[in-house]
Amino acid sequence: MTRAVFTLPDLGEGLQEAEIVAWHVAPGDHVVADQPIVSVETEKAVVEVPSPQAGRIAEIFAAAGQKVRVGAPLLRFVEGAEADTGAVVGSLPQGAAPPRPVAAAPTATPAIAAMPAARARAQALGLDLATLRGSGPGGTITLADVEAAAGSRGEELRGVRLAMARNMAAFRDSVAPTTVCDDADVTGWAPDAEVTLRLARAVAAGCRAAPSLNAWLEGEPPLRRLHAAVDLGIAVDTGDGLFVPVLRDVGGRDDAALRADFAALKAAVRSRAAPPAMLRGATVTLSNFGTMGGRYAALAVVPPQVAILGAGRIDARPAVHDGALAVRRLLPLSLTFDHRAVTGGEAARFLAAAIAELEKSE
């Protein structure tokens, strides 16, 4: 069934609006069904929106940089006899019928190492990528590089940073945060220890000892839901803001499976290609902020979760070991929990079990 006006579809996750990053078509262009026609940025990722049908574009309603509500018009298709004639713009989806031959289009601009989101944002801002210096791996241009070049640091918050600001403001008055801290002696770790995997195993051990921390607290009056599997949200810092992809069932799978999944999560987040399903459903969160600095922290619990474990910087410090003072490698831990759902005793048992797991020699 064809329709004249195409509106911004529901992109999931309860998102109500998106910002136009770049159009891939223009009025007069012909498209086929499922061909990407526009890139939009949500609170979660940069998403390509496909065409719902074949046809020729008559009019585009939203410009790059404009925020559009779900259900608002994006474009209008030509109606009538000339609606389905013309050349296809861009690449056809796999399996689509080839269009009639047309004159060759001009060659694309020379390849420049840039993340897709950075490329789309630069196009929207009218920036030449060739003039930018990339801070990513191998000199790849990131979205943060584009925003910095455009002088956007002082402009209104957008995308992930806007979502973070809204979420922190919304959660500020709905949680009773309490933090307990301790150290784990990790002197017995191998030099090449996989810190994130060790910490994930520690969270799983903590949840086995105190299941109330692997829970959601929702509704009014509050309803607590305990989870059997530990789906661990892992905070990943990027130039575009903080993302928390979810490593599934950390207590029920082996290291090889977790290692492969975590590598895939990081790659998807840093390329801004993480699908919504990858960023939802965490039952408890881990923040390994010590890779950047800091020892202890009172972290933010994000409802409906009730706990977050923070790992600080590992340092060599004096400590008593086997009854004598020695220099040991200590890992600072900060457990912040929602005191509405978790007692102090439960938090202490969680932390003790996590430390016991971390102090196992490799």
Closest to 13 (Cα-Cα) out of 53, 57, 55, 45: 45
Contacts of 265 (CB under 8 A, 6+ apart): 234, 236, 245, 246, 247, 274, 278
Q: Is there a single domain that holds both residue 175 and residue 317? A: yes
For residue 274, give the CATH number of its domain. Answer: 3.30.559.10
Return the structure tokens found at 293.
């600095």
In a domain, 260, yes or no: yes
Strand partners for 325: 320
Q: Is there a single domain that holds both residue 64 and residue 143? A: no
For residue 38, give the CATH number of its domain. Answer: 2.40.50.100
DSSP state letters, 232-287? EEE-EEETTEEE--EE--TTTS-HHHHHHHHHHHHHHHHTT---GGGGS--SEEEE
Tens-digit pLDDT string for the chain (362 aa): 567 899 998 877 667 888 898 899 999 999 999 898 998 887 767 788 999 999 999 999 998 888 899 899 999 999 865 555 444 444 444 444 443 333 333 333 446 888 777 887 787 777 888 888 888 877 888 878 887 887 744 656 677 777 777 777 766 668 899 999 999 999 999 999 999 999 999 999 999 999 999 999 998 888 999 999 999 999 998 877 788 999 999 999 999 999 999 999 999 998 888 888 899 999 999 999 999 999 999 999 999 999 999 999 999 999 999 999 999 999 999 999 999 999 999 999 999 999 999 999 87
Measured between alpha carbons, how far is 69 from 59 in angstroms, rounded to an integer?
Answer: 18
Residue 170 DSSP SS3: helix
Q: Is there a single domain that holds both residue 199 and residue 269? A: yes
Closest to 217 (Cα-Cα) out of 347, 284, 306: 306
Closest to 86 (Cα-Cα) out of 101, 105, 75: 101
In a domain, 105, yes or no: no
For 239, the domain range is 167-358
Q: Is there a single domain that holds both residue 151 and residue 177? A: no
In a domain, 63, yes or no: yes
Helix axes of 255-270 and 195-209: crossing angle, nearest 10 degrees = 110
DSSP-derived pairing of the beta strands 324-338 and 307-311? antiparallel
Q: Is there a single domain that holds both residue 217 and residue 240? A: yes
Closest to 128 (Cα-Cα) out of 149, 151, 144: 149
In a domain, 107, yes or no: no
Per the structure, the count of domains in the chain is 3
Helix axes of 195-209 and 344-358: crossing angle, nearest 10 degrees = 140
Contact between residue 21 and residue 41 where contact means Cβ atoms under 8 Å apart: yes
Q: Is there a single domain that holds both residue 212 and residue 300? A: yes
Q: Is there a single domain that holds both residue 181 and residue 149? A: no
Q: Is there a single domain that holds both residue 117 and residue 138? A: yes
Q: Is there a single domain that holds both residue 150 and residue 172? A: no
Measured between alpha carbons, how far is 361 from 168 in angstroms, rounded to an integer?
Answer: 38
pLDDT for the residue numbered 102: 34
Q: Is there a single domain that holds both residue 320 and residue 283? A: yes
Contacts of 10 (CB under 8 A, 6+ apart): 70
Measured between alpha carbons, how far is 281 from 306 in angstroms, rounded to an integer?
Answer: 13
In a domain, 161, yes or no: no
Contacts of 106 (CB under 8 A, 6+ apart): none
Measured between alpha carbons, how far is 141 from 127 in angstroms, rounded to an integer?
Answer: 12
In a domain, 273, yes or no: yes
In a domain, 104, yes or no: no
Measured between alpha carbons, how far is 10 from 68 in angstroms, rounded to an integer?
Answer: 12
Conformational region of residue 55, where left means phi above 0, alpha means psi within -120 to 50, and beta covers everything else: left
Q: Is there a single domain that holds both residue 141 and residue 178? A: no
C-beta atoms surrounding 84 within 10 Å: 15
For residue 133, give the CATH number of its domain. Answer: 4.10.320.10
In a domain, 75, yes or no: yes
Measured between alpha carbons, how far is 274 from 265 in angstroms, rounded to an integer?
Answer: 7
CA distances from 56 to 128, 148, 312 (A): 29, 37, 56
User: Of 68, 96, 124, which residue sits at a domain end?
Assistant: 96
Q: Is there a single domain that holds both residue 174 and residue 288? A: yes
